[in-house]
Structure 1
Amino acid sequence: MNAVEIEEAISALAEHAFDSAEFPYAFLQAFGNKETTIRRLRSGASNKSDLDGVLQNNNIHIAVSLPGEVTKTLTALKASPATTRAKARFILATDGTDFEAEDLETGETVACPYRDFPDHFGFFLPLAGITTVKQVRDSSFDIRATSRLNRLYRTLLEENPEWDAADRRPDMNHFMARLIFCFFAEDTDIFNGSRLFTATIEQMSARDSSNTHEVIGELFRAMNTKIEGRPAANLPRWASVFPYVNGGLFSGSMDVPRFSRIARSYLLHIGNLDWTKINPDIFGSMIQAVADDEERGALGMHYTSVPNILKVLNPLFLDDLRERLQQAGDNPRMLLNLRKRMSKIRVFDPACGSGNFLVIAYKEMRKIEVEINRRRGEPGRRTEIPLTNFRGIELRDFPAEIARLALIIAEYQCDVLYRGQKEALAEFLPLDAENWITCGNALRLDWLSICPPTGTGVKHHAEDLFHTPLDQAQIDFENEGGETYICGNPPYLGSTWQSDEQKSDLRLIFESLTSNWKSLDYVAGWFMKAAEYGTRATAVAAFVATNSICQGQQVPILWPLIFSTGHDIAFAHTSFKWSNLASYNAGVTVVIVCIGRTPTIRQLFSISDDGEQVAQSVSNINAYLVSGPNIVVQDRRLPPAGRHEIEAGGKPVDGGNLLLSCQEKDQLCGCSPTASRYLKRVFGANEHNKGIVRYTLWFNDADEEVIQRDEFLRKRIDGVRTMRLASTKPATVESAKRPHRFQEIKQTGLEVVTLVPTLTSEKRQFIPAGLEPAGTIITNLSFAQFDGPIADLAILNSRMHFIWVATVCGKFKTDYRYSNKLGWNTFPIPTLTEKNKADLTRCAEDILLAREAHFPATIADLYDPDDMPADLRDAHERNDEVLERIYIGRRFRNDTERLEKLFDLYTKMTAASGKPTKARKAAV
């Protein structure tokens, strides 16, 4: 469950009559506990409470108290030996009237009336595995409001199916945007009366909801009618008290969907929330999820934390503004110059969604501006930072509307905070008619028309403010001479998941630049557009992106094109989880990359082992987000001369007829008198890592006569032939002529094998390569070196090799993906003396012996970073020390130093072999 679903379930629980016997179980169910878990607790099988309550190990101890004894019961829960034994994090006591709880880990407490405990749902989110608790608590109102809006939205669409059609959905979304504004306006005195909107609907619409849509329609019509035009508009008296708003928000169709009694009730409940607590930088993305069919299934997962957004905005330009503020001190002239500079800064998000980045940028700049005004003795001064300087492009119409609405709300809240309620209200209505969020395809629009260097453009009709056409090309306001900062979190989408239209978008950008563009992630289009924009305007761009664009095959495709435009990487944040509000803090692994043409300071950010952000100033950042020259590692078909080759194992393509489990092997041997002579152990990555035992039938061509005489062997080989003949691939059909052999054969079956798993968990610190005896068969699900030197096994198991592979080979989901052409054939190894080889051989043998000492523990068991045996860890430490002393005469201090050395050696290695080390210029 996600945070919004949990809030909805908790609220429903509080609304029902209190049931002392059922409450603990219903509470746990609301946080996602499965029915089987609840059954075990009910039966006592897993409930070890010593206070006649419900105790869930590692989570919570709940007890229902006698009336008036909630505090006493909570004290007893805290003192309970069972609470301690179960390592419960939370204790909770309630009598259905009062509610108290404590987080035993942090010492924080909750005490409130029972009916109000849903207000504190964020306190308990660790019960659902959601760890972004502080951010959730900070935005708990937004989650509650989103939950209720989602209920209303779903109900209205169910009751008005015609509004769910594609041609009416924009009307429905626009209706929701109007409601959001009205809820906010009535709680912030914009409507000159507390709850005026909600109270009017409650009073003027019938309880059976038969005219609710008509009442709302009249209110919207009033807000679309100027004061001087109202006598002719024939508005009802109760609607005429509402101010003129428009700005495009209330223009166009006044249609309102019909309301049932339930929908009317939902509407009134939403209006009774305290909308002064709305957080526009968070709320927008949640509202977007309400209205988007694809995203509603992931409701609540689109929250992006402010700290994550600031990882982009701070080094992009906010840190510089704060530094200038510090340098200015109380100097009036320097402060004035800084304020003028800020008034011309444009922040441009070409994938703005519901405006999170723009809102955060606006609010942070207002904080700096108010400090300037304070130091200059001008408190309460009207802002000089126009909303029109915060520009965006968004493909879908509703998020574009919400983005503009979120900025309007942010401006009003800042004015109230920094200038006072009276001044904010005086200037808020009517809404301005300028439009700064363009609805369209960012990869097809001309960014220069949206943020032109001179700020000139074609005027856009005011009344269509909240209905920006898809073909809008220009903006109608100026900002001569200002800086432009491009930022955002564009859609990632690897090549496999791109739609035909998205592939067409990339084709338009890249087809004339590279023939390999089909392998690029969708986000690469934004980087290329930003680089092209930067050749014609003064701008710096920083985007959140999947880390795959800085790894593996995409680096030599994308980054030479970026560098050829004169851009370098100004700052970057190495891989981290871009988290959301899903259970277990699910999130994609991302990087942040900033490109600019003349960066004066280059900074490389990373996350330390204790979770803190670390910044390093460097002379250059290359495409792998490593300090060093702009080298692009190109794959090599073969390793350098003198080095043993590593290649993928053989490809069975057998339809399950050649490969056998232990049980299948035993069954076959029990039936066939000759099968055991042709069985060999087979290994792929799973067999190696998890200790799975499997076998393969391994024949030579000379064995065909034996196969024909053995009925059971013949059936299996016939099965291979049938499967291959049914294939649509010519190579597979051709291999049906030799069905007793693997389709691709890489070995005789007599070699000693050094096995390298195809995938390695991101949690590991090494690639756990292994050694298998002669007679072992390796499938294409792992890599192998046949009859290679044992010293190579030491290198493959080293931290040096692991960090190289992690950097240049890329990932599959979150696992490191090995590549012989990129990982082994390009890996720089110093010339090894015979003593070096002997030392490394001994290190490899020590690692193998340490593994063997823990039999039957598997590789997966042994290389769990939290539970790695001390002797195995020590063997790896010795291996790393021996190898690293070969490189530089001492241990490396960290992975950054390792990579810097490896890239230096790679430069020399490729230069010596005549291969270019720098990306060639490409025409743009």
Structure 2
Amino acid sequence: MNAVEIEAAISDLAFQSFDAAEFPFAFLAAFGNKDTALKRLRTGNNNVSDVPGGVLQRNNIHIAVCAEGSVSQTLKALRVSPATTKAKAKFILATDGLTLEAEELISGETIACAYPDFPNHFGFLLPLAGISTIKEIKDNPIDVRATGRLNKLYVELLRENPDWAKDERRHDMNHFMARLVFCFFAEDTDIFNDEGLFTRTVEQMSERDGSNTHEVLETIFRAMNIKTDERVNAQPCLPVWADRFPYVNGGLFSGSTEVPHFTRMARTYLLHAGNLNWKQINPDIFGSMIQAVADDEERGALGMHYTSVPNILKVLNPLFLDELRAQLAEAGDNERKLLNLRKRMARIRVFDPACGSGNFLVIAYKQMREVEAEINRRLGKTQLGSEIPLTNFRGIELRDFPAEIARLALIIAEFQCDVLYRGQKDALAEFLPLDAQNWIVCGNALRLDWLSICPPTGTGVKLLADDLFGTPLDQTEIDFANEGGETYICGNPPYVGSKKQATEQKADLEAIFAKRTKNWKSLDYVAGWFMKAADYGTKTNSAAAFVSTNSICQGQQVSILWPLIAETKHEITFAHSSFKWANLASHNAGVTVVIVSISVNTGKDRKIFSISEDGSSVVKLVDNINPYLVHGPNTLIEPRTTPISQIPEMSRGNSPTDGGNLLLEQIELPSLYLSDRQVSDFIRPFYGADEVISGVGRFCIWIDDEDIDRALEADTIRDRVQRVRDFRINSTKSATRDAAMRPHRFDERKPVPKSRVLVVPIRSSENRPYLPVGFLEPDTVIANTAFAIVDGPLWAFALIASRLHIIWIGTVCARLELRFSYTNTVGWNTFPVPLLTEQNKADLTACAEAILLAREAHFPATIADLYDPDNMPENLRHAHERNDEVLERIYIGRRFKNDTERLEKLFELYTKMTAAAAKAKPAAKATRGKAN
């Protein structure tokens, strides 16, 4: 369940008559627990509560229903309950049906409220559904509630008006929803000069069955598009009840006033939405949440489209807000300096070329207004109007509904800031009518000319239409003075990997990159925004910072994209290493991202932001940030055929290319009817990536050339070999057809190891804390989905199983989606390892043995089981931590503080080793020449 569904479910529960016996189970059901889990709790099989009236769900919550007036005492009993501790409950909750109290045990945070009001605190309880708690939602649920109400209304209206769901009417439908949002907000903030005017009018003037609701709304919308002094002559004449609505303008109510037809249920949903307190709406987050309302594909993720303010500030603060605050601090009470800062801020433009519903723009605007308000306070001019125009906050958005919501969110943000810093009276006096200028463009950011949308001179073309919410693309430039101002480009462009791009998206990248590099097809879609920002920066005083999947700073994309960025003279100004970009998805879902800022004017100090292993934020000043987001020179990691360090060689496994005929599941062995001697001679264990991770091996037919006649004496083997020949000879690849001459052999075949072998899967999950390296028995055939070190030392296992190695792999190897994609040439051969002494090797061997023994202690648990990040056994975790400590002391004499420090050391070593290897090559050539 998502946050919107949970809010609706617990609101329904609070509305129903209280049933003491049923409440705990209904409460858990509201948070997404399945009937089977609830059934086990009801029967007592899984309920280990030791409190009367209690229901205890392990690793989640301990609930108790109690006698009237004893809620606080019952909550205390839950807190000290041994069962609460033993079951690792995260929450405790007590209620008597009149009041409700709950506590989050880790933080100690509590809520206490009347029972019917507990849905107002649903954000506090979201972790019960595996949803990461977000402060804005925890403190104020209005945004989620409004999203849910609007979604129900939207779906019902489309059901009743299917023609409005068609492409040609979808814009009309979205525009109608934007009008409603404005009306709900305006009636609760005195913009309409009468609290609740809109909802009350619809309720009073429309029929209960909804039959004339569309007519009432059309009349209201028409009224808000007629100036007050022109209403006397309006045709048709406005009814008295509609004349109470003010003139709004701004294009929001211009054009067609047509409204979809309502049912009784649609009218009810409209009134329910209007009865919320929209004064509390948060434009920082509301827009991105209702964005999904108008998108059929995204509606299933309703309530998850949320970008947390702290994460957005990770972009905006170092991009320019920190500098503004520093200049404010340096100005003190100096009037000249304060006025200069105010003048500078009035010319700053913030440009988000993938703005969605405007989160980045809204937060940037609010933060700048906060600085401006402090300037005015120090100048003693708190009633002074703002000099920061909304038109300085530019955006591009592909879809029309988010673009409309972005403009509306900025309008709401401006009004809220005026109320906060100037007072309600002054805010209202200047709010209406709305300005008709359009500063959010609906279009494809990778195809539009950013210089025309956000021109460097600050002077553009005047609008030709009085329509804020429907301006054609070629009429978006605004006439305003901004000479000498700065432009800050920011945002969270769409993440689409190279393999998942639609035809149109490939064409977008081709238009940008095809003349620059032949390898552009390997780039992620987000790379287009970085290149466009770099091109824009060659002609403007600008800096850019984007949130991106970390793939653009890993593997082959580094060598494709970043040299092109460097050609424009842009360098990385600051970066934030990988972290989870939070949303309201369940189970803490969120993509792993980085933040990268580029500029021509980088200054002397660059900043690398990271999160330490204890969760605290770390910032490091450096003189250069390379494309891998590491302090050091702009080194590109190139593939190598041999290891750069003194470590054993690693090779890829065997490729059968057999149509599945040389491979066997264990249950298939008996069907071959082979003798024990034949099994011993021609059947080998077969392990690839899946087998190593799952622990379930397969077998393969393995025939040496000299044994082919004897092997083919077995009819079942001869039949399979014939099918291999048929499969290969029908291939479209000439090399495979050639291999049909040797159908008894794997297509790519290497010697079978005669001693134990280390195996590393090519593909593995990024969620595991360590790479899933296997240690297999002799005579095992390794598949081409894995790499192997044959007859290698056990200390090499310790290297592969280390935190240092997985961090290196995650940085320099290409990714398949987010999963690790291991290679020997880039991942292993480039891995820089200091010269190991015999004692070092002995210590690492002992660490490897400890890891293997810890695994063995949990037999038959597989690598997939053992390295589940949430369920990794403590003894195995400790063995790995000991291995990391031993290895890292070899590198720097202590544990590394975090992954950023690990990478810096690895890149430092790699740079030294490659420099040394480059110097050695000419000497080696000279020696050979002399010997000849």
CA contact (8 A) 2:59 2:88 kept: yes
- Which whole-Å CA distance do the structure 1 matches of 2:793 and 2:83 have between them? 57
Instruction: Write out aligned runs for 1:798-817 (5 A).
Output: 799-817=803-821
TM-score normalized by the length of structure 1: 0.93
| 1:897 positional shift | 4.7
Aligned to 2:142: 141
**Is residue 365 of structure 2 the alignment partner of residue 388 of structure 1?**
no
CA contact (8 A) 1:675 1:713 kept: no
Matching residue's letter, 1:880:
L
Give the whole-Å Cα distance in 2 for the aligned partners of 1:163 and 1:494: 33
- Segment of structure 1 superposing worse, 146-155 or 101-110: 101-110
CA deviation string 1:536-577 (max 9, x = no partner)? 101000000000000001000000000111111000000000
Structure 1 residue 282 and structure 2 residue 276: aligned? no
Identify the residue that residue 192 of structure 1 maps to in structure 2. 193
Give the distance between the partners of 1:221 and 1:373, measured in 2 at CA: 39
Matches within 5 A, 1:909-920: 909-911=913-915
Report deviation, 1:178.
0.1
User: Residue 461 of structure 2 aligns with which residue?
Assistant: 458
What is the aligned partner in structure 1 of residue 241 from structure 2?
238
- In 1, are the aligned partners of 2:674 and 2:714 still within 8 Å (CA)? no
Question: Which residue number in structure 2 is paired with residue 296 of structure 1?
Answer: 299
2:218 aligned with 1:211, yes or no? no
Query: Once the two structures are superposed, what CA deviation does each residue of 1:576-635 show, in whole Å capped at 9, x if it has no partner?
Result: 000100112200000000001121130000001121110000000000000011112222
1:880 aligns with 2:887: yes
- 1:202 aligned residue: 203
Find the residue that maps to 2:638 and give its secondary structure: coil
Per the alignment, residue 54 of structure 1 pairs with: 55
> Which residue does the alignment assign to 1:9?
9
> Bigger CA drift: 210-219 or 121-130?
121-130
Distance 1:866 1:526, change over 3 A: farther
Please report how far the alpha carbon of residue 673 of structure 1 lies from its aligned counterpart in structure 2 after TM superposition. 6.4
Within the candidate set 813, 820, 825, 2:824 is matched to: 820
The more displaced of 257-266 and 463-472 is 463-472
Pairs within 5 Å for 1:277-356: 277-356=280-359
CA distance in 2, matches of 1:890, 1:258: 70
**In 2, Cα distance between equivalents of 1:765 and 1:423:** 56
> For 2:874 and 2:734, how far apart are their aligned partners in 1?
48
* 2:225 pairs with 1:221: no
- Call closer, same or farther: CA 1:734–1:9 in 2, change over 3 Å: farther
- CA distance in 2 between counterparts of 1:386 and 1:810 reads 44
Aligned match of 1:106: 107
Cα separation, 1, equivalents of 2:596 and 2:299: 30
Q: Write the distance in 1 (CA, Å) between the matches of 2:447 and 2:788.
A: 46
Task: Provide the C-alpha distance between the structure 2 equivalents of 1:351 and 1:856, rounded to a whole number of angstroms.
Answer: 51
Change (3 A) 1:615 1:281: same
Is 1:716 aligned to residue 720 of structure 2? Answer: yes
Equivalent residue runs for 1:770-809 within 5 Å: 771-788=775-792, 792-793=796-797, 795-797=799-801, 799-809=803-813
Task: Give a deviation string over 1:739-773, Cα, whole Å, max 9, x none.
Answer: 33223223355576342332455466654645545
Shift of 1:22: 2.7
The answer as to whether partners of 1:794 and 1:841 remain within 8 angstroms in 2 is no
* Mapping of residues 278-677 of structure 1, within 5 Å: 278-472=281-475, 474-600=477-603, 601-639=605-643, 645-665=649-669, 668=672, 674-677=678-681
Range with bigger deviation, 162-171 or 686-695: 686-695
Find the residue that maps to 2:874 and give its secondary structure.
coil
Deviates more, 1:288-297 or 1:621-630: 288-297
Does residue 692 (structure 1) correspond to residue 696 (structure 2)? The answer is yes
Distance of 1:86 and 1:795 partners within structure 2: 37
Give 2:926's aligned residue.
none
Residue identity over aligned pairs, in percent, reads 62
**1:879 deviation in Å?**
5.0
SS in 2 for 1:617: strand
- 1 CA distance for matches of 2:915 and 2:877? 41
Following superposition, the deviation at residue 146 of structure 1 comes to 0.4
For 2:58, the aligned partner's letter is: N
Aligned-pair CA distance for 1:70: 4.5
Q: Distance in 1 between matches of 2:895 and 2:95?
A: 59
User: Residue 297 of structure 1: SS of its match in structure 2?
Assistant: helix
The offset of 1:384, in angstroms, is 0.7
Question: CA 1:121/1:898 → structure 2, altered by over 3 Å: closer, same or farther?
Answer: closer
Kindly tell me: are residues 734 and 226 of structure 1, through their superposed partners in 2, closer, same or farther at Cα, counting changes over 3 Å? farther
How many angstroms apart in 2 are the aligned matches of 1:179 and 1:293? 20
* Corresponding residue number in structure 2 for 1:853: 853
Structure 2 distance, partners of 1:176, 1:894, is: 47
Supply the distance in 1 between the matched residues of 2:638 and 2:137 (Cα, whole angstroms): 44
Task: State how far apart, in whole Å, the 2-side matches of 1:236 and 1:335 are.
Answer: 51
Seen in structure 2, the aligned counterparts of structure 1 residues 68 and 908 have a Cα distance that, compared at 3 Å, is closer
Change beyond 3 A, Cα 1:197–1:292: same
> Which AA in structure 2 matches 1:846?
A
- Contact 1:843/1:878 (<8 A) preserved: no
Partner amino acid for 1:18?
F
Distance change in 2, residues 1:98/1:899 (3 Å): closer
Matched, 1:270 2:273: yes
Which residue type is aligned with residue 625 of structure 2?
A: I
In 1, the alpha carbon distance for the partners of 2:344 and 2:546 equals 23
Deviation at residue 4 of structure 1 after TM alignment: 1.2
- Count of residues in Structure 1 that have an aligned counterpart in Structure 2: 909
One-letter amino acid of the counterpart of residue 775, structure 1:
D
Tell me the CA shift for residue 107 of structure 1: 3.5
Matched position secondary structure for 1:285: helix
Q: Supply the distance in 2 between the matched residues of 1:785 and 1:81 (Cα, whole angstroms).
A: 50
In the TM superposition, residue 151 of structure 1 has moved relative to its aligned partner by 0.6
CA distance in 1, matches of 2:341, 2:850: 63
C-alpha distance 742-192 of structure 1, shift in aligned 2 (>3 A): same
Provide, for residues 97-139 of structure 1, a one-character-per-residue CA deviation record: whole Å limited to 9, x for no partner: 4433333443433333333221111121121112224332134
CA gap of 1:891–1:125, structure 2 versus 1, over 3 A, is closer
2:748 to 744, 747, 750: 744
Deviations 1:322-349 (A, max 9, x none): 1111111111111111111111110000
1:384-408 C-alpha deviation (Å, 9 max, x unpaired)? 1110000000011110000000000
Given that 2:4 and 2:302 are in contact with CA atoms closer than 8 Å, whether structure 1 keeps it comes out as yes
* Distance in structure 2 (CA, Å) of the matches to 1:912 and 1:68: 78
Aligned mates of 1:70, 1:752 — CA distance in 2? 63
| Cα gap change, 1:134 to 1:680, in 2 (>3 Å) | same
* Correspondent of 1:261 among 256, 261, 264: 264
One-letter amino acid of the counterpart of residue 27, structure 1: F
**What is the rounded CA distance, in whole Å, between the counterparts of 2:39 and 2:372 in structure 1?**
58
Q: 1:867 aligns with which of 853, 874, 882?
A: 874
Which secondary structure state, in structure 2, belongs to the residue aligned with residue 584 of structure 1? coil
Change (3 A) 1:785 1:915: farther
